[in-house]
Amino acid sequence: MEKILIIDDDKDLCSLVVKCTEQEDILAISASTGAEGIKLVDANDKEISLVILDVMLPDVDGFQVLEYIRKRNNVPILMLTAKSDEENKISGLRLGADDYLTKPFNLHELMARINSLIRRYTTLNQNTLQEKIVKTKNMTIDKNNRKVFVGQKEIELTVKEFELITFLATNKGQIFTKKQIYAHVWKDEYSFDDSNIMSFISKLRKKIEPDPENPCYILTVRGVGYRFNEEA
């Protein structure tokens, strides 16, 4: 179930939105002040899929709450205001709001915007997660936690070994010279001689390859360099 946060001092409006979202299987929690809203954002940081935020709050400016939230995560924020002037809308959008709705508004329009923003946020998160995980037939590279698994076994790698396998696997099938590999992994002018790069890759193969003498992941392209097997 998706969870949204409403920060608005209009308690009747909050109750109405809570009832509408419940009908669409969305859990809504609410806060009537900016300070209370910030506490709920912090307490539910990874669970909230959308924040509905009123510009006019009794304790702090809604824009201040917007800035606080935006510094911490990319959750979509729908701003509500009783003002229809363009200046407020532009200020909110510049500070990171995703959408704007002027009071009074139609509840059907509000729900349409809520569902649209949640869908976009969910898709974005799924794409981001996929970017952080590189999978082959039998290898998984978790970029976020810097872990590599062959089958179910976690492989202990050095920092540079991890960066090398991640670089090659992310660019599966592409051929890289030793100089290009050094520039991407060591981020420096090429100072290794060919034998050092070959020795480094040989050590890595011993850790990840079922048969290091006949590698199936990191393949040698004679006279050129190396590539990650696109069929692995």
The residue ranges of every structural domain in the chain are 2-130, 136-228
**Coil, helix or strand at residue 63:** helix
Q: Where are the alpha helices (DSSP H) in the chain?
A: 11-22, 34-43, 62-70, 86-94, 107-132, 159-170, 178-185, 194-208
Q: Report if pTM > 0.85.
A: no
Cα separation, 214 vs 193, in Å, equals: 24
50: nearest Cα among 95, 87, 17: 17
Cβ atoms < 10 Å from Cβ of 183: 14
75-111 tens-digit pLDDT: 899 999 876 667 777 788 888 888 888 888 889 999 9
108-140 tens-digit pLDDT: 999 999 998 888 777 666 555 556 788 888 899
**Exposed, middle or buried: residue 145 (CB in 10 Å: 0-12, 13-18, 19+)?**
exposed
CA 151 to chain centre: 25
Contact 124, 104 (CB under 8 A): no
* Residue-by-residue DSSP string for 170-225: HTTT--EEHHHHHHHHT-S---S-HHHHHHHHHHHHHHH-SSTTS-SSEEEETTTE
Cα separation, 51 vs 77, in Å, equals: 5
**Sheet with 99-102: strands ordered across:** 26-31, 2-7, 48-54, 77-81, 99-102
134-170 tens-digit pLDDT: 888 889 998 878 899 999 899 999 888 998 999 999 8
48: nearest Cα among 87, 7, 3: 3
Cα separation, 152 vs 141, in Å, equals: 12
pLDDT at 93: 82
191-221 tens-digit pLDDT: 656 677 888 999 999 999 999 999 999 999 9
Cα separation, 223 vs 132, in Å, equals: 32
177: nearest Cα among 229, 228, 226: 226
Class of domain 2-130: alpha beta
CA 152 to chain centre: 25
Residue 190 has pLDDT above 70, yes or no: no
Cβ atoms < 10 Å from Cβ of 2: 19
CATH, domain range 136-228: 1.10.10.10
- Residue 139 phi/psi, 5-degree rounding, is -130, 140
Cα separation, 147 vs 106, in Å, equals: 49
The reply to whether domains 2-130 and 136-228 share a CATH topology is no
17-46 tens-digit pLDDT: 999 999 988 999 999 999 999 999 999 877
